[in-house]
């Protein structure tokens, strides 16, 4: 039995689900080995804290809940591993509630190592679950908080019915990543979940391009591992089929933040070649050209986006930034108000409205936007980048930089685009701002060239 358990432990620790969860791997290995060696000795929080996590002898589990918290995470992670694993060993390892000693379940004969039937892995085209999967993808294309939440619900329903369908796990990873990337939900909650869903998809299908791309986004904007992000996107591009979202996210979240503007535009064009009716791709290509200083190209991209979907908020947001850049503040405000209306009055747009009001000299209205954002932040996540926009519009440079440092502390994913946003360019003369960007981009040469 011990041999089978250790073989299963090795499979778990080497799996994609656990590969990047160092502390959970330490915890699982310690608990399994200690239980095998001393099956009759209870495992205590104090013992795990001191011997597994190298806590000092003064460690008090009543004051430091690290063991309880990680044990809960480990239970969830093990459930995910067994839900996603295309094959299982002869033994299943689980952590029972309120106990730190693992339970080793022997699987019935015939269950171990048998891949699930293909019919259970992929819902049949035209079936209710397949249509639910497509509905999730439709919701995801809207890029609003409500639509992305609906997408996650759809993908979860499909996973419940078809737990081995890699596409649904990849879709869930993408939706969760977008909820964080667009600043709708707290990154510390969404991004680890997005990473887990992506790894689950890749455990089922290592060639899933969307899963690699979603993992690339996590590596870039949450972990700030720019080289690791690049590797994931390369794997996405080498997969079995073209994935427009992979090229789009590579451009938006990896190349643009690093000021690799021409490469980003090439990737946007590749995305549009694969999905020429994507208002999202046209809009984001427009923002990329705005950041690069190619304003006429940016307007052309936005025009195409609005031809496809006039009630989509993203092209209005980019057009507002373009008008603002020209000094046409009345038209900028009009465009931002359109974006606000079509986004459901999202805080994502409120910061833009506030900064233009400030630039127009309507300081009181801009401060009311700040108050509204702060009230909203008591109920849901609001990126500090939104506050920084308004403060900078008001000429409050120190307050804006303080907001950006708070954005870094909360790991706001939108922070990675601040360095190339022309609106924030005046801050490049500030030493603290330059230090912040150096920390975020870790010496990446292209972005550093902007600070020279």
Q: Which residue has the higher pLDDT, 395 or 181?
A: 395
What would the pLDDT profile of 320-372 be if each residue is shown by its tens digit? Answer: 999 999 999 999 999 999 999 999 888 889 999 999 999 999 999 999 999 99
Q: Which CATH number fits domain 261-345: 3.20.80.10, 1.20.1540.10, 3.30.2000.10, 1.25.40.10?
A: 1.25.40.10
As a whole number of angstroms, the distance between CA 376 and CA 372 comes to 6
5 touches 94 (CB < 8 A): no
What's the pLDDT at 117? 45
What is the model's pLDDT at position 81?
83
Report pLDDT for 401: 97
Kindly compute the dihedral angle of the four CA atoms of residues 390, 394, 397, 398, in this order, to the nearest 10 degrees.
-80
What does the pLDDT look like over 183-211, one tens digit per residue?
888 898 899 999 989 988 888 888 899 99
**pLDDT tens column, 59-74:** 998 888 889 888 988 9
Same fold, 127-241 and 261-345: yes
Give residue 114's pLDDT band: very low, low, confident or very high (50, 70, 90).
Answer: very low
Residue 118's pLDDT band (cuts 50, 70, 90) = very low
Predicted local distance difference test score (pLDDT) of residue 115: 45
Residue 317: its pLDDT value, please? 97
Please tell me which of 96-110, 120-134, 197-211, 366-380 the model is most confident about, judged by mean pLDDT. Answer: 366-380
- Say what percent of the chain tops pLDDT 70: 94
Domain ranges of the chain: 2-106, 127-241, 261-345, 348-452
pLDDT at residue 449 greater than cutoff 80: no
Mean pLDDT estimate for the chain: 90
Contact 244, 281 (CB under 8 A): yes
The C-alpha atoms of residue 68 and residue 70 are separated, in whole angstroms, by 6
**pLDDT bracket for residue 11 (50, 70, 90):** confident
Domain 127-241: which CATH class?
A: mainly alpha
The two most distant CA atoms of the chain are separated, in Å, by 76
Residue 177: which residues within 8 A CB-CB, separation 6 or more? Answer: 190, 191, 194, 214, 217, 218
Q: What is the pLDDT of residues 397-443, one digit of tens each?
A: 999 999 999 999 999 999 999 999 999 999 999 999 999 999 999 87
pLDDT band at 444 (very low <50, low <70, confident <90, very high): confident
Residue 187 near residue 199, CB atoms below 8 Å: no
Span 285-291, mean pLDDT? 97
- Going by pLDDT thresholds of 50, 70 and 90, the confidence category of residue 451 is low
Our CA angle for 14, 20, 26, nearest 5°, is 70
State the average pLDDT over residues 240-253. 89
List, in order, residues 6 or more apart from 357 with CB less than 8 Å away: 333, 363, 365, 366, 369, 393
C-alpha separations of 335 from 84, 121, 338, 364 in Å: 45, 45, 5, 21
371, 359 Cβ separation under 8 angstroms? no
- The answer to whether the CB of 330 falls within 8 A of the CB of 367 is no
Is residue 121 pLDDT above 90, yes or no?
no
Comparing 89-103, 126-140, 173-187, 380-394, the range with the smallest average pLDDT is 89-103
Return the pLDDT at 21.
81
pLDDT in tens, 42-101: 899 999 999 999 999 999 988 888 898 889 889 888 887 887 665 555 788 998 888 899
* Banded model confidence at residue 109, pLDDT cuts 50, 70, 90: low
């Amino acid at each position: 039995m011990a041999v089978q358990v250790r073989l299963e432990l090795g499979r778990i620790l080497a799996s994609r689900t656990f590969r990047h969860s160092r502390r959970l791997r330490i915890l699982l290995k310690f608990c399994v080995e200690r239980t095998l060696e001393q099956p009759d000795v209870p495992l205590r929080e104090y013992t795990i804290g001191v011997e597994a996590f190298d806590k000092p002898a003064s460690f008090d589990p009543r004051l430091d809940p690290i063991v309880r918290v990680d044990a809960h995470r480990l239970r969830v992670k093990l459930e995910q591993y067994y839900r996603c694993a295309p094959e299982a060993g002869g033994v299943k390892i689980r952590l029972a509630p309120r106990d730190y000693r693992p339970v080793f379940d022997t699987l019935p004969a015939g269950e171990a190592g048998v891949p699930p039937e293909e019919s259970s892995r992929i819902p049949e085209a035209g079936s209710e679950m397949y249509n639910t999967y497509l509905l999730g993808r439709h919701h995801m294309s809207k890029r609003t908080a409500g639509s992305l939440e609906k997408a996650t619900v759809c993908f979860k329903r499909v996973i419940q019915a078809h737990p081995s369908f890699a596409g649904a796990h990849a879709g869930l990873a993408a939706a969760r990543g977008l909820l964080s990337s667009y600043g709708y939900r707290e990154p510390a909650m969404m991004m680890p979940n997005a990473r887990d869903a992506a790894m689950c998809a890749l455990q089922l299908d290592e060639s899933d391009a969307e899963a690699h791309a979603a993992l690339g986004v996590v590596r870039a904007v949450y972990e700030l591992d720019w080289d690791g992000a690049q590797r994931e996107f390369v794997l996405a591009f080498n997969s079995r089929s073209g994935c427009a979202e992979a090229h789009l996210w590579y451009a938006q979240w990896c190349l643009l933040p690093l000021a690799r503007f021409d490469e980003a535009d090439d990737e946007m064009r590749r995305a549009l070649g694969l999905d020429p009716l994507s208002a999202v791709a046209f809009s984001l290509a427009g923002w990329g050209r705005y950041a690069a200083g190619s304003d006429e190209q940016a307007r052309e991209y936005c025009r195409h986006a609005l031809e496809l979907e006039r009630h989509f908020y993203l092209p209005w947001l980019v057009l507002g930034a373009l008008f603002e850049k020209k000094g046409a503040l009345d038209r900028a405000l009009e465009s931002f108000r359109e974006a606000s209306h079509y986004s459901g009055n999202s805080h994502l747009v409120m910061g833009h409205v506030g900064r233009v009001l400030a630039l127009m000299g309507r300081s009181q209205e801009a401060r009311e936007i700040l108050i509204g954002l702060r009230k909203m932040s008591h109920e849901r996540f609001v990126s500090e980048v939104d506050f920084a926009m308004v403060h900078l519009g008001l000429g409050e440079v120190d307050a804006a930089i303080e907001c950006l440092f708070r954005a870094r502390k909360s790991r706001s994913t939108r922070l990675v685009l601040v360095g190339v946003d022309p609106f924030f360019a005046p801050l490049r003369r500030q030493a603290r701002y330059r230090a912040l960007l150096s920390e975020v981009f870790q010496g990446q040469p292209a972005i550093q060239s902007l600070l020279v």
